[in-house]
Amino acid sequence: MTDTARYERSDFQTDQEVRWCPGCGDYTILASVQTYLASLDIDREKHVFVSGIGCSSRFPYYMNTYGMHTVHGRAPAIATGIATANPDLTVWVITGDGDGLSIGGNHLIHALRRNVNLNIILFNNQIYGLTKGQYSPTSEVGKRTKTSPLGSIDRPFNPVSLALGAEAAFVARTLDMDRNHTIDMLRQMHEHDGAGLLEIYQNCNVFNDKAFIDLTDKSTRDTNRIWLEDGKPIIFGPNDEFGVVVDNIGAKIVEVSQVGADAIHVHRADDPNPSVAFALSRISQGPYGPTPLGVFRNVKVPSYGKVLEQQIAAAQTDKGAGDMAKLIRSRGTWTVDA
């Protein structure tokens, strides 16, 4: 925090007791979001947090901004109403893998394809936490839970692939415990005009602990975190010994020494064609083994809220401001004399 900052993190905290389980990844994410908002020169009252139902959806109660805790799965739709009614607002959607990808999947993909001015944070813990541990649409095949005692036979979504399939203009992924990276992703999403989806791997230490262990454990994380950085070759590993190449078939992991540094794919988040970003999202189907993190896609597309405003302005220039008295006479009238 610099001296010139308008806000402290505490300006974004409420007096409500935070009620997540001790150790839950949600705490870290809350801190990252509050820290990021405090760093901005945006009036606190211009932020709106909208959530659905689930553990993470309690989030708005803990943010000292405008907020709405809504209906299961419907946050993207309700937030769309806010953001299109008033495009001057900064609207954040807080959702989870059950809320956003199961019951609310439809609203999520439509908000993304329309490029509504929304910042969507998807807390992916690969489990239903609030209802105490049932498999979710991102749980791995074979997962044993109370509703899948013999192992889940659902094939999971990869949220990044799904968002790219919906042609979202901004798609990124991060880890709850990496606050700096989370804040960087929040910043890039926020600076992007239109719909953004940030998937955060969020540890549910009560019902699905260590789901992201490949990416978080000291012994494995350097081998498994593939950092995507715009304009840079995609190399990773403790000694940068691995890289990603992209060909007509897709993206795959190689040893840099085998293909030569020049063959390594240079990441371009602003590539208008989403196919390469999609290929990168397929390197791992979930947080198992080497998994890309960072901004997959960041392209400029006019945001829905702005285009709608432009249509209205154009209609007013074209036809003049509306006149009700004229409108009700517009279908032809006749007069009955007294």
Partner 1 sequence: MSDETLTEERPAPERIDDVVIRFAGDSGDGMQLAGTQFTASSALFGNDLATLPNFPAEIRAPAGTIPGVSSFQVHIADWDILTPGDNPDCLVAMNPAALKAHLHDLVKGGLLIINADAFDDRNLAKAGYDTNPIEDGSLDAYRMLTAPMEELTKEAVKDSGVKGRATLRSKNFFALGLMSWIYQRPVEPVMDWVKSKFGEDSPVTNANISALKAGYNYGITTEAFQHTFEIQPAELPAGEYTNIVGNTATAWGLMAAAEKAKLPLYIGSYPITPATTILEELARHKNFGVKTFQAEDEIAGIGTALGAAFAGRLAITTTSGPGLALKSETLSLALMIELPMVVVDIQRGGPSTGLPTKVEQSDLLFAMYGRHGESPLPIVSTTTPSDAFDAAFEAARIALKYMTPVILLTDGYIATSSEPWALPDLDTYPDISVPFASHDEADGPFLPYERDPETMARPWAIPGQPGLEHRVGGLEKDSTTGNVSYDPDNHEAMTHTRAAKIARIQADIPDVEVHGEGDELLVLGWGSTFGAIRTAVNRVRKNGRPVAHAHIRHVNPFPANLGDVLTQYKTVLVPEVNTGQLARLIRAEYLVPTVSFNRIQGQPMRAREVEAKINELLDGEAGE
Residue 249 site contact among ligand SF4, partner 1, none (CB < 5 to 8 Å, cut-off depends on kind): none
- Under rule CB under 6 A, residue 16 binds ligand SF4: no
> How many residues at the interface with ligand SF4, by CB under 6 A?
11
Q: Which is nearer to ligand SF4, 55 or 228 (CB)?
A: 55
Beta-carbon count within 10 A of 228 CB: 20
Q: Can you give the C-alpha Rg of the chain in angstroms?
A: 23
- Under rule CB under 8 A, residue 249 binds partner 1: no
- Least Cβ distance, residue 63 to partner 1 (angstroms): 8
- Under rule CB under 8 A, residue 42 binds partner 1: no
- Under rule CB under 8 A, residue 312 binds partner 1: yes
75-85 helix and 105-114 helix, angle to the nearest 10 degrees:
30
SS (H, E, C) 267-331: CCCCCCCCHHHHHHHCCCCCCCCCEEEEEEEECCCCCHHHHHHHHHHHHHHHHCCCCHHHHCCCC
Identify the residue whose tokens are 């943010």. 63
Q: How far apart are the first and last CA of the chain?
A: 76
Contacts of 326 (CB under 8 A, 6+ apart): none
- Least Cβ distance, residue 21 to ligand SF4 (angstroms): 3
- Under rule CB under 6 A, residue 131 binds ligand SF4: no
For ligand SF4, which stretch binds (CB under 6 A), given 107-115, 138-146, 199-207, 295-303?
Answer: 199-207
d(CA 168, CA 111): 9
- Under rule CB under 8 A, residue 14 binds partner 1: yes
**Contact positions vs partner 1 (CB under 8 A):** 14, 16, 43-50, 53, 60-61, 63-71, 74, 77-86, 88-89, 106-107, 110, 308, 311-312, 315-316, 318-322, 324-325, 327-329, 331-338
